[in-house]
Structure 1
Amino acid sequence: MNEELKDKMLKIISNHKTGILSSVENNKPHSRYMTFYNDDLTLYTPTKLDTEKVNEIKKNPSVAVLLGYEMNGQTDAYVEITGISTINDSQTLKNKYWEGTFNKWFEGPEDPNYVFLEIQPQTARILNINGGPAQELNIES
């Protein structure tokens, strides 16, 4: 694996918590803005268990995520990660990423409706590095 490229990607995804999650609904992309956390290149995004996106992922776990665009111009670097998403309701994870702003949607970190979509990356691409061509990491083993 190209460690230098991976480090550039990690810097972008670690510094940009808001991104776009695209899942599949009726064989068509369905995108929405989400908050993302990362552990290496694995992504986590909090959600309610009883949402449309959870049902979509249960039917088709393939997802794509875009993170990093800063809207400063056409040369802003960003990362596209494609992978497989699963539901993760680990209490350790729920405690680790709990934020007070989540009170708007959840009763607390123990709320059973508070879960994470865990995205295991298969490929990651960094785009728009100084306007240059995309660079890709193939992560699948």
Structure 2
Amino acid sequence: MAHEEAIDKTTDELVERAWELAASIRTALFATWSGQRQHLTPMSATVEPAVGALYFLTTDDAAKVGHIRRDPNVVVAFVDDSANKYVTFSGRATVSDDREKIRELWTVFAKAWWESPDDPSIRLITVVPSEAELWDSPGKLVASVLMLTAAISGQQPAVGDHATLRIR
């Protein structure tokens, strides 16, 4: 684990916090590699820290499905800009037709895209992260005050936790 600044939390606490942030933010930018460039797609995530996975529903003909099959290395970024909280997960993705898990993850919001969880075009993307990076600030107002104080004093501000963490 590498820290940008001194943090009074253990690695386990920081990993737990990374999962908590992802679960509370839920909407992520899902980054894949097409072989020529990166692609970002906003997606709704189901976060399951107990199993160490992020889950997404998608359509079998989505470009990201082909990207993952060619290169399973992905980055998933969760951003709560209003609260100055950010977390990214890097790991490997798989695409499956796991009907049981698709039914388990089904929500009323999924109905905007598919008629039912039995739609044969739905696929499950499972991301198993190997690394997380988090930025966890006390909020914009406090961070702004700390940065202004640092600018006046000439010292770097301590505006929250920042850490890069091994998940597995």
Same fold (TM over 0.5): yes
Select which of 71, 76, 93 maps to 2:81.
71
Quick one: distance in 1 between partners of 2:27 and 2:92?
19
Computing the radius of gyration over CA atoms, which structure comes out larger, 1 or 2? 2
Q: Deviations over 1:31-68 (max 9, x none)?
A: 1110000111410111001111101111111100111x
Structure 2: 5+ residue stretches without partners: 1-9, 139-158
Matched, 1:123 2:131: yes
* Amino acid paired to 1:103: K
Mapping of residues 17-36 of structure 1, within 5 Å: 17-36=26-45
Residue 133 of structure 1: CA displacement? 5.9
Aligned to 2:3: none
Normalized against structure 2, the TM-score is what? 0.74
Select which of 42, 55, 58 maps to 2:53.
42
Aligned to 1:13: 22
Q: In percent, how many aligned pairs have the same letter?
A: 23
Secondary structure in 2 matching 1:134: strand
Matched, 1:109 2:137: no
Matched, 1:136 2:164: yes
Quick one: distance in 2 between partners of 1:126 and 1:18?
16
**Higher helix fraction: Structure 1 or Structure 2?**
2
Residue 101 of structure 1: CA displacement? 2.4
Structure 1: 5+ residue stretches without partners: none
* Amino acid paired to 1:134: H
Quick one: distance in 1 between partners of 2:162 and 2:80?
17
Aligned to 2:101: 93
Quick one: distance in 1 between partners of 2:97 and 2:26?
20
Paired residues in the alignment total: 137
TM-align CA RMSD: 1.8
Residue 134 of structure 1: CA displacement? 2.7
Secondary structure in 1 matching 2:165: strand
Residue 93 of structure 1: CA displacement? 1.1
Normalized against structure 1, the TM-score is what? 0.87
Quick one: distance in 1 between partners of 2:38 and 2:57?
20
